[in-house]
Chains A and B, each alone.
Chain A
Amino acid sequence: MGNNRVLVVGGGLAGLAATMKLAELGIAVDLLSLTPVKRSHSVCAQGGINSVSDMTRQDGDDEWKHFDDTIYGGDFLQNQPPVKEMAYWAPKVIDLMDRLGVTFNRTPEGFIDRRRFGGTLYKRTAFAGATTGQQLLYALDEQVRRRESEGLVKKYEFWDFLGPIVDDNGRCVGATAQDMVTMEIRAFPADAVVVATGGNGLIYGRSTMSVFCTGSAASRCFQAGANMGNPEFIQVHPTAIPGADKLRLMSESARGEGGRVWVPRKANDSRYPKEIPEKERYYFLEERFPKYGNLVPRDIATREIFNICVKEGLSVDPNRMSVYLDLTHISRAELDRKLGGILEIYEKFQGVDPREEPMKIFPAVHYSMGGLWVNYEANADGGLLPGSPKNQSTSLPGLYAIGECDYQYHGANRLGANSLLSCIFSGLFMGPGIVNWMKGNKAAVDLPKSIFEKAVATQEARHKKLLSNNSGDENPYLIHQELGDIMTRAATVVRDNKQLTDSLEKIGQLSERASKCGLSDTGSWTNQNVIFTKAVQDMFPVAKCILKGALQRDESRGAHFKPEFCMPSLSATDPVAKRAEAEQWCDAFEENNKKFLKSTICTWNGSDPVVTYEDIDTRLLAPRPRLYGLVGGEVIEQVWNERSAAKAKDAGSKQLVGAT
C-alpha cells in the first residue's frame, strides 16, 4: 500500500480488531491509546458474546432471529442492514476468537458452552467464565503484539487524541495527539483515522465505565464536524454494585445462570434475607414478565428495579437503594466455574460472599447506544456491501468510527452480550472499505506540511492557555462532580421535560465555568491535571447533545423513558371494549412512529448542538410494538398482526413480519 498509513485511536476490542485486520491487509497502522491497549475498558465486559450456534439452530434459531431480537430489543431505532450483517457474521466472529485461543467455557464433550442472556429465548451466549471481555481483548491484544513484532503496527500508548486534522477540502488527513508523559503535541498524518474510543459514562460522574471513558475523543470529532447520532440513548444497567469511586457491574450472566431478583413483600423488612420465607419474597420480574422472567431486556429490568425502590418503597436497604440478586440456590462449584470472576469482585469490594448471601444491587449508567453517526452501504440482500468505503464512515470524510463510540448497532436499547460482538464485527468488517477509501486519495504524508503545523499550533495554543492559568480558578474535579450529578438526575432512568430544560441551562452555565478552570499543576511532565481538564471541558458538547436529544424526543423508546409520553396498558375488561382500545393503541403507536421512529442527528454550531432527524432504514423488518409485560399486550399484538397482514396484502410485499 506504498505510503499509506491508518491511525487507529483506541485499543479496545474494536480498535484492536481493526488494527489486526488492517495489518493483515498489508496496511501500516499507528495505534494510539490513553492506556496500554491491554488495559482498555473492554476488559470489564463480563457476561459473553452472542451468536447463533449449531445447538440453538436445532431449536429453531437462526441468524435472522438474532437480527430480529436485536432490532426488537432496540425498539426499531437501528438502520437494519448493519445489524443484519452483524448477526450473520456473529458465528464467524466467535469461530475466529476460538481460533485465536480464547478460553471459552466448554461442555463436557469439548464444545463451546453457551448461556442465555436477556431479550432472547435462545442460549446464544458464548462466555469465558465471567471475564469474557478480558479474554477476548487479550486474544486481540496478542495478535496486535504479533503484528507489532512484525513491524506493521506501531503503538503509541499513553497518548491523548486531541482531534482530527481536516484539510481545505474537508477531508480528514490525520490527527493531533499529546504524549501524556512528555506532554509533546504532534501531528499524525494518516490516510484514514479510525476512532474506537468507547463510551462516555464519565459524563455521569460515576458509572460502570473505566476512567478513560470520558467521551472526549468522540466529542473532539464532533466539534470538528462529525455528526452524532441518538446521543440521548444511554443504557442504565439493571445490576451494579454501588461504590464511592465507581459503580461496579454485576453481569447479566448472574441472571443468565439462574440468578433471581427479589425484595421482601413487606417494606422495611429487616430480617436477614435467608430467613425470609419464599412466600414473603416478591420476585417481581418473574411475576410481571412470565415469558422472559429475570431476563427481560435491560431497559425494562432497570425501570422495574428503580420503581420498586423509588416508587414502591421496597428497597432492601434503608440507607442505600438496592434489591437482592440471589444466587444462593446454585451450587458453589457451578458458580465458581461459570461466574467466578464477578463473584470475586463482589466479595472483594463488598466483603460479603454472594454464594452465601444475596447480593445488593442497583442500576448504574453502563453503555452509550448513541455516538458518532456512521454511514453504510447495503447490498441486494439487505446486509452490508463488503469493501464499501461508506461502511462505518462518519460525516467527516476519512474519519471512521467503530465500537461503542459509533451509534449504529443497538438502537434504543442494547441487548446483553451484543456489544462485544458489535465491537469486533465493526472493527473486522471495516478494513477492506478503508483500503478502498485510500485508493483514490493523495497520501497524507505528501500533503503540505502547513496543514499539520497549523493543527498542532491550534492545540498548543489551547494547552498553553490552560497552563498559563489566567482564565480563573474553577476546580476541574469539582466541575466534573457537578456535571455528573446533574446528568445522573436528569438523563438516566426517568426523564422529564422540565428537568431536562433546567439541566440544559445549568449545563450551559457549568460549561462556562469549565472554561475558567485553574490548574493545580502547570508543569510540563506527566501533567494529569491538564489532560483531565481538557477531557472535562470536552464532556460538555456531548452532555448537551444527550440533554437536548432527550428533551426533544417526546416519546418513550427503549432506554429513553418519559412517563408523560408513555403508551399506556389497556384498561378495559370487556372484550369488545378491549379490542376498540387496542385499535386506538395501535393508531397512536403508528402516529408516534411517524414522528419519532427517526435517528436523532446532532451537528455542532460552535457552541451548541443543533438537532435534526433522519429516517430509519426499515427495509427488512416492519416496526412493531414492543410489548414486554404490557397489560392487554396480547390483544394489541392481535390487532397489530391483522393490520400488518392487511398491509402486506395491499403492498404485495412479503417482507413484513408480524409481531411474535
Chain B
Amino acid sequence: MIAPGNEASAKRRPSKVNVRILRQDGPGLPGYWERHQVDYEPDMNVISVLQKVAAQAKTSEGKNVAPVAWDCGCLEEVCGSCTMVINGRVRQSCSALVDRLLEDDANEIELRPMTKFPVVRDLVIDRSRLFRSLQRVKAWVPVDGYYDMGAGPRISREEQEQNYPLSQCMSCGCCLEACPQFTKIELQRQPGETAEDYAARKNASFDEGFVGAHAISQAMLFNAHPVGKNMASERMDALTSAGGVQDCGNAQNCVAVCPKEIPLTTSIARAGRAATVYSIKKIFDR
C-alpha cells in the first residue's frame, strides 16, 4: 500500500486545520460536537492535531474548554491504543495522516469515539470487554512453569509464517467496531457496589455477548500451537457456547478494517469448521 507522494499535497498546504470532535463528558451523558482549529504543519497526523487541541484548550469560536481526552501510546501503530472513528472510518489515529484526510474533505476532519464500547470521556472508550474475550478463549500456552526446561517444540517455517500474522493482533478493536454482530454492552456501577462486584457483573455480562473476531483468531492461533492445543477443547467449549463463533454473520467487515491485515475471516472459517467437528465429536463422546 503506497500512499501518494508528498509533492502533491505540498502544493495546497492550508494554513489551518479544522477538526470536528464528538465529545462526551462522562459515561451515560449526551454527546456534543465541538469545532477546533489548529495551525497546519507538514507531516501531521491526528495525534499531533489532538496534541495541539489539548495545548490550546480553546474551540474555534475562542471559547475556553477542557482539553479533549483521548488515548494513545506508541504512535507507530503497534500498541493498539489510539483507535477512533476518523472521517467515518475506524482506524488508528497515529497512522491517520492529515494530508490524506484532507483529501477526503479539505474543510474538516471528523473525529468520534468508537461506538461499540462505552465512552469514558470524549474519545476515550472502555475496551475491557476486548481483553475479557481473551480470557474467555484462554489465549495462552499452558506451560508447566517458568523454570528452564530447555527449548520449545520445533516449529516449521511454514507454521511460523501462518501463526506470525495472527500473533500481531494488537487488541485495537477495529474488527469489533466494524462487526454488525458485536453490539455495545454498557453497564453503570450501582450505588454501594464494590469495584470487585462491579467488575464481576461486567464480566458476566460480557461473557454473554459475541466474543469477537480478534478472540476467535487468537483461539485458532493457540489451537495450532503444539502445546497450546492441549487446551483446544476448552477453547472450543468457549467458541461453541453463547456468543461463540456461530454468532458471526459473515459480514467480513473485520478483515477489511484490520490495520494489521490479519486474515480474520480465515481464522473464523477455521473456527467454524472446528466447531462443527467438535460438536459432533461431543455428541458421540457422551
Contact = CB atoms under 8 A, between A and B. Distances in A.
Interface of A: 20-21, 24, 35-36, 38-41, 43-44, 92, 95-96, 98-101, 103-108, 110-112, 128-129, 131, 134-135, 138-139, 142-143, 145-146, 148-149, 181, 210-212, 243-246, 248-249, 337, 341, 345, 347-349, 351-353, 428, 475, 477-478, 520-521, 523, 525-529
Interface residues of B, number: 75
B97 interface: yes
Given A38-B171, A101-B227, A428-B146, A475 B95 contact: no
B74 interface: yes
A36 B131 contact: yes
**7 closest A-B pairs (Cβ-Cβ)?**
A520-B57, A142-B140, A98-B152, A521-B66, A477-B55, A351-B3, A526-B121
Contacts of B48: 244-245
A95 B149 contact: yes
A35 B170 CA distance: 13
A434 to B, nearest CB: 15
A139 B152 CA distance: 13
B2 A347 contact: yes
Nearest to B225: A101
29 contacts: A21-B146, A35-B81, A38-B80, A39-B79, A39-B80, A41-B79, A43-B78, A95-B150, A98-B151, A101-B141, A103-B167, A104-B155, A110-B155, A134-B168, A142-B140, A145-B135, A211-B75, A244-B48, A245-B48, A245-B51, A245-B75, A341-B78, A341-B168, A347-B1, A347-B2, A525-B25, A525-B26, A526-B121, A526-B122
B148 A135 contact: no
A526 B120 contact: yes
Chain B interface, >50% SS class:
loop
Contact of A349 (B66, B76, B150): B76
A210 B54 CA distance: 18
A351 B120 contact: no
Interface of B: 1-6, 25-26, 41-45, 47-48, 51, 54-55, 57, 64-67, 69, 72-81, 94-95, 97, 120-122, 124, 127, 131, 134-135, 138-143, 145-146, 148-152, 154-157, 159-161, 163-164, 167-168, 170-171, 222, 225, 227-228
Given A210-B79, A245-B75, 13 more contacts: A44-B76, A99-B227, A100-B141, A101-B228, A104-B160, A146-B140, A146-B142, A345-B77, A351-B6, A477-B55, A521-B66, A521-B67, A529-B54
Contacts of A41: 73-74, 79
B170 A43 contact: yes
A139 B51 CA distance: 32
Contacts of B4: 351
A245 B74 contact: no
A129 B131 contact: no
B76 A345 contact: yes
Contacts of A43: 73-74, 78-79, 170
Contact of A35 (B73, B122, B160, B227): B73
B136 to A, nearest CB: 10
Contacts of B80: 38-39
Given A92-B148, A110-B157, A181-B120, A348 B164 contact: no
B76 A248 contact: yes
A345 B81 CA distance: 16
A348 B228 CA distance: 34
Given A39-B79, A110-B157, A475 B55 contact: yes
Contacts of A106: 155-157, 159-160
Contacts of A145: 131, 134-135, 139-140
A446 B76 CA distance: 45
B75 A210 contact: yes
Contacts of A24: 145-146
Contacts of A139: 141
A472 to B, nearest CB: 16
B45 A245 contact: yes
Contact of B135 (A38, A108, A148): A148
A99 B95 CA distance: 33
A104 B80 CA distance: 21
Given A106-B160, A351-B3, A248 B66 contact: no
A434 B200 CA distance: 31
A477 B72 contact: no
Contact of B73 (A211, A248, A520): A211
A226 to B, nearest CB: 26
Nearest to B171: A38
A100 B54 contact: no
B93 to A, nearest CB: 10
A353 to B, nearest CB: 5
Given A110-B156, A211-B73, A525 B121 contact: yes
A405 B227 CA distance: 34
A581 B28 CA distance: 77
Nearest to B66: A521
